[in-house]
Structure 1
Amino acid sequence: MEEIEGIYSEVHDAQTQYGRLLWTQYTAGYDFGLKDQYQKITSLLKNEKSYELVREALETEQDPLNKRKLQLVDNLFKPYHLSQSLNELDEEIQGKVSDLSKLLNQFRYTFQGKEVSSVELGQVMSRDEDKNRRREAFFAKNQINQPMIDAGFLDLISLRKTYAKEYGSANYIAHQLEMNELDEDIFSNWLPELHQSLPAMEKARAGFAEQFLHEDRILPWDEQYIDAKIAPLLNQEVDMSDYFGNINKLFSLFGFDISSYNITYDIFPRKNKPEWGYNFPIETAKDSRILANVKNKFHEYGVLLHETGHAVHSFLLDPEELILNTGVSGIISEGIANLFQGFLYSPQFSGSFFSGSDGAAEQFSRLKEYRKTNSLRAISRIFFDHSFYLNEASSLDDVYQLYWKNHREVLQEEPFGDEPPWAFTIHYTTHPIYLHNYFMGDVTCEMLKGVFEKKHGNGLLADPEAFGSFLLNEVIRPSGSLKFGELFKRISGEEFSLKFMRS
């Protein structure tokens, strides 16, 4: 194994440098050689002698943990030893992703004749009483649709389809699931389960629509507005100067002192900086960097808690287990991040800001109720991502047709406009077939809460330090050595199911 670990260590070092360069591009807009560094990574992965050693070791290894490590390395090397055309496609795809992500990161919207950020559009949708202005702010996000098509987004989709076909996968969705060690039929029951829940969901949503809109239907530009009506404290101005202290106070409750971790924060807006929140896991347990755009609203702490959750997860892994750390499922990673983001509404966090505010607990409790009502609607966005790879589209109009077809089939709702915003969701470009990780991560968190409460007789916030130990020992430490499905069943005793979200 020592020789194999040495082979992977070289790949790891090259990937670490790529992460540093990517951070520079995302934070400042400068590309200092991403393409060249990516080629260094692929050059190592194409090395025939290295791959031959991996294959030989995999055939003879008997130790289960070492075999797991070898399977992970084999999965990494294998795609680069199938054909030259696949390798060329891989480089072409990576180049196209880099170009398109640069466009997305630097794009700014125009709203009522003024250049604005997505944060400012969100504030309009959250606070403006005029539903027509909220609607206009929502549809302003479709301004990036045509530029992305013109820059080759559909060419990227076509390249991915071609890659999957040449690889031998049924389609690109199946290919990505295989790469992430998930069963090809993992989504097969989702639509029936969603449709079974839709009547109750729609009844609950209609109640909120009547209460806050005096209408019978909630439209996309109403979602943030209703959030803010249910919990006005979301938009309360707060002092962000001690953001680190406030975040560390929460994580310390679980036994995680983030001041002892090498976490870099870049959180305030500026030109050429992307508007999404990111965690760059530059080097596991050694260097984690957080990118966000916040101003001075309480709800903006949500993204900081999410990305810090990613960072803490990284620092709780063993830095010496370079190979096993690559086996951590994105579902576990996003689930842990979402878990800590959810503590935004807990008295343990919000109490630092609103300890004297009447009704804070009630506001956030009602908000969680509303959010739970909407939780299964996330399936629509996941399946829209899939639709790119299951259908043909050669123009923006074709994409709109796919969007509305998916909207009708999944949510059983009629269109709410002509040109829906979609391209602003950067995952379609940079992280295809990834959105399920957030949703499945939420389902996993609900399972973890239930298991912990059953074992300890208390909710996780009643004994946060015990929950921190549970998370570390039952989830994080074994997360690289097991596939997601195996880990889920080991903890819960059951197969993954949406029922955990509905219970």
Structure 2
Amino acid sequence: MNTEMQQFLDRFVPQYRELTIAFNIAYWEATTTGNTEADERYSALKSDYLKLLADREAFAELKRLKESGGVTDPLLARQLVLLYNLCQQQQMDDADIEKLVRIETEIEGVYNTFRATIDGEKKSDNEVNELLRTETDNEKRKAAWEGSKQIGTVVGDKVIEVVKFRNELAKKFGYENFYTMNLTLQELDEQELFTLLGELERATLAPYKEMKRSLDEELAERYGIEPSEMRPWHYSDPFFQEVPVSSDLNLDKYFEHQDVVTLTKSYFDSIGLTDMQKIIDNSDLFEREGKYQHAYCTNIDREGDTRMLCNVRNNDYWMSTMLHEAGHAVYDYYNDPSLPYVLRDCAHTLTTEAIAMLFGRLTKSADWLIKIAGVPAEEAKALEDAFNRQLTRTMLIFVRWNLVMTHFERDMYNNPDQDLNKLWWDYVERFQLVTRPADRNQPDWAAKIHLAIVPVYYQNYMLGELTASQLQASLEQELDINSITGDERIGAWLTERVFKPGSRWHWNEMIEKATGEPLTPKHFVHQFVQA
């Protein structure tokens, strides 16, 4: 059976590798240009890629090998599991593949090119976010927030259409719905996940309530209103997923006259990951018309062509985002080239998110600001308590926002015909304690791009934060350090423990090997909830 598995890989992987690379390049071109031809090329290659994974004979062979239990070589057995899971959810007819790709590509194209109209002017996401970060006029803030939701009205019906179609496909494969299927094939247990989320909900409720009460008082004073009048547009981003700019700690000032790209390189050089400039040279980092407005990292070929797409401005948000995306990038770049192609990838989406989040937190580190951003030591040290409070606020806000997304998405796939507009605001009020706007009945949930084109993903951000705290605790203990800046041993530790193992082990086995214990929320809770 080991021989048969290797023979299967010898036949299947070359074509899989070729299509994966072509598909990745086509997606890059579509998101960096926004032109119709690039979208069509991406759509066609996506269809070819899915059709390869949908090949009935190949899947039947994988199923036979898996059910035999005879593939005993560890690397072969792991490739078998990963390819089986990858191919299972693609066992579709060509017509279904074509339909799915058409709908998803159409939706994605709208998100990529849409610009909100505010006071008669087209505004990019960056411009809308800047208004919400800095504007003090309540009516202008409300107009900016409402503008950020306009995309939801445009794509809402299409998103429901693709949700229903995904569910139809999942039922053909024997699953209750697409959400359950996708979690299962990600090697995540739905019951265990929501038990964990329930623990986090309870652990964070009291500190979140207290933090938000204090935050609302600060913001209400800024906007000249009573705390009871706070509404969604009074926060600093469209979904209240980021910590608002504080009156006593405005991190933007540390970056407005700097180059966040150069600072990113300086940081990774400082921890011994010195090929960051090669990644930057491959990347597309600045905004322009028609370009995808968010950020992502892609590993084109698993052989060093790693790229980041960003829309950089010199502020705290984009500094943190650059560090985040660069975390994904170094995970991809510093893989083990001796591993088989299939295993030359992250252990799981949640583990690459963990690395990205570990680095994305650093703009709230006094040591990082001193050593990398050049903030005077006396000033940074004097603000250390404020930095810690800001990071704690960030994490509490993130947990409660993540609870909205994970619960809403699960319920959306359980019943896409329910009143999703009401469901969304029910969860926003329950988890974020944000009062819904009066008499509003719009598909505001559909303004969140992940629900449409990155389905069943958001739980990986939460699991990633837990993993980041666990990795940081192990790093600091084993290397006897109290900061993850300016020590080349940090990059070496991460490379050996996390990057090079790739996906040769189940994600939780990798975490246990790296840190000495399986994933646990205790390090995150200690760091941000009960510290």
Q: TM-score, with normalisation over the residues of structure 2?
A: 0.85
- Does 1:488 pair with 2:501? no
Deviation string 1:305-351 (CA, Å, 9 cap, x unpaired) is: 21111111111112453111356200011111111122233345433
Deviation string 1:142-178 (CA, Å, 9 cap, x unpaired) is: 111111035x221111101111211111222211111
Aligned runs of 1:340-355 on 2, under 5 Å?
A: 340-347=359-366, 349-351=368-370, 352-355=372-375
Aligned CA distance change for structure 1 residues 283 and 349 (closer, same or farther; 3 Å): farther
Aligned CA distance change for structure 1 residues 262 and 137 (closer, same or farther; 3 Å): closer
Asked if the contact 1:335–1:441 (Cα under 8 Å) also holds between the matched residues in 2, the reply is yes
Take 1:212 and 1:392, find their aligned partners in 2: how far apart are those partners?
36
Deviation for aligned residue 1:467: 2.3
- Which sections of structure 2, spanning at least 5 residues, go unmatched? 237-242, 527-531
Alignment correspondent of 1:379 = 403
Aligned runs of 1:217-296 on 2, under 5 Å?
A: 219-224=231-236, 226-235=244-253, 238-239=256-257, 242-259=259-276, 261-263=278-280, 264-296=282-314
Deviation for aligned residue 1:56: 5.2
Asked if the contact 1:449–1:459 (Cα under 8 Å) also holds between the matched residues in 2, the reply is no
Take 1:385 and 1:79, find their aligned partners in 2: how far apart are those partners?
19
Aligned runs of 1:325-474 on 2, under 5 Å?
A: 325-326=344-345, 328-347=347-366, 349-351=368-370, 352-356=372-376, 359-361=379-381, 362=383, 363-377=386-400, 378-393=402-417, 398-411=419-432, 414-417=435-438, 418=440, 419=442, 421-461=444-484, 464-474=487-497
Give SS of 2:519's match. Answer: coil
Aligned CA distance change for structure 1 residues 204 and 90 (closer, same or farther; 3 Å): same
Alignment correspondent of 1:29 = 34
Deviation for aligned residue 1:50: 3.8
Aligned runs of 1:48-67 on 2, under 5 Å?
A: 48-55=56-63, 57-58=65-66, 59=68, 60-67=70-77
Residue of 132, 138, 148 corresponding to 1:131: 138
Alignment correspondent of 1:312 = 330
**Which one-letter code corresponds to 1:332 in the other structure?**
T
**Which one-letter code corresponds to 1:308 in the other structure?**
A
**Which one-letter code corresponds to 2:413 in the other structure?**
Y
Pick which of 375-384 and 267-276 moved more. Answer: 375-384
**Which one-letter code corresponds to 1:67 in the other structure?**
A
Q: Count residues in correspondence.
A: 495
Pick which of 368-377 and 113-122 moved more. Answer: 368-377
Aligned CA distance change for structure 1 residues 230 and 437 (closer, same or farther; 3 Å): farther
Asked if the contact 2:43–2:102 (Cα under 8 Å) also holds between the matched residues in 1, the reply is yes
Residue of 64, 72, 81 corresponding to 1:71: 81
**Which one-letter code corresponds to 1:288 in the other structure?**
T
Aligned CA distance change for structure 1 residues 259 and 353 (closer, same or farther; 3 Å): closer
Take 2:31 and 2:387, find their aligned partners in 1: how far apart are those partners?
33
Take 2:317 and 2:394, find their aligned partners in 1: how far apart are those partners?
14
- Does 1:4 pair with 2:4? no
Asked if the contact 2:253–2:315 (Cα under 8 Å) also holds between the matched residues in 1, the reply is yes
Identity among equivalent positions (%) equals: 22
Aligned CA distance change for structure 1 residues 423 and 55 (closer, same or farther; 3 Å): closer
- Which sections of structure 1, spanning at least 5 residues, go unmatched? none
Alignment correspondent of 1:146 = 153
**Which one-letter code corresponds to 1:322 in the other structure?**
Y
Take 1:293 and 1:469, find their aligned partners in 2: how far apart are those partners?
30
**Which one-letter code corresponds to 1:255 in the other structure?**
G
Deviation for aligned residue 1:427: 0.9
Aligned CA distance change for structure 1 residues 446 and 327 (closer, same or farther; 3 Å): closer
